[in-house]
A = this chain, B = another copy of it.
Amino acid sequence: MRMFLKELKFDSTKHTYIKDITEVVNKAIKKARVKQGLVVVSSRNTTLGIILNEIAEPNLLRDILAHSLTNVHEDRRSTRVNKDYKYPTCDYKHRCQDNPFCNETDEDYNAAAHIRSIAFSHSSITIPIRIGKLELGKYQQVAIFEFDGRDGKGKNPIRKRTVQIWIYPAENITII
């Protein structure tokens, strides 16, 4: 078995959003010249996950975002909570700066982003490849789900994100 890797690096400046990456993944499969096999799309961040759903309908994305913010309450100390914040808040224990591996400027209260990432996304998603592209249904797209972007305007720098597209080719497909 061989493997191909395409790495996506990007700035994530909006707090919470969903972004279609289906075409990026299909281009990587094309570049690797792989006709069939498996793709693993994986996040290297703990507050950004991968989902597969109907991403092409903007109102549905608004509904998914609103549910994630309502169902998992925000830390009331979070930089995203201000007088106009309209979703529920609560008290958490976690502070970003308490991670023993943390050597970055990161003073925030993002327990909710971690919990939303666990509840509403995947650290990786596995999708078969067929006829040189992702084998998806008519309404399916693969997307990143960001739960904790930073715009760089407060204390914390802009979020740098990494998503990896791993491609595992197969020789052929036998229909059974």
Q: Which residues of A contact B (CB under 8 A)?
A: 1-7, 28, 31-32, 36-38, 40, 42-46, 51-54, 56-57, 59-60, 62-64, 67, 71-72, 92-95, 98-102, 111, 114-115, 117-128, 130, 135-140, 162, 164, 166-176
Alpha-carbon gap, A168 to B1, bound state (A): 9
**Which among B54, B99, B135 is the interface contact of A164 at CB below 8 angstroms?**
B135
Say yes or no: B2 contacts A45, CB within 8 Å.
no
Minimum CB–CB distance for A84 against chain B, Å: 20
Alpha-carbon gap, A126 to B162, bound state (A): 17
With a cutoff of 8 Å between Cβ atoms, the chain B residues found around residue A46 in the complex are 52-54, 137, 139-140
Count copies of this chain in the complex: 3
Alpha-carbon gap, A164 to B44, bound state (A): 23
Alpha-carbon gap, A32 to B173, bound state (A): 11
Say yes or no: A56 contacts B124, CB within 8 Å.
no
Alpha-carbon gap, A123 to B51, bound state (A): 8
Q: Which residue of B lies closest to A120 (CB)?
A: B118
With a cutoff of 8 Å between Cβ atoms, the chain B residues found around residue A2 in the complex are 170-172, 174
Minimum CB–CB distance for A104 against chain B, Å: 9
Q: Which residue of B lies closest to A60 (CB)?
A: B94
**Which among B64, B93, B176 is the interface contact of A63 at CB below 8 angstroms?**
B93
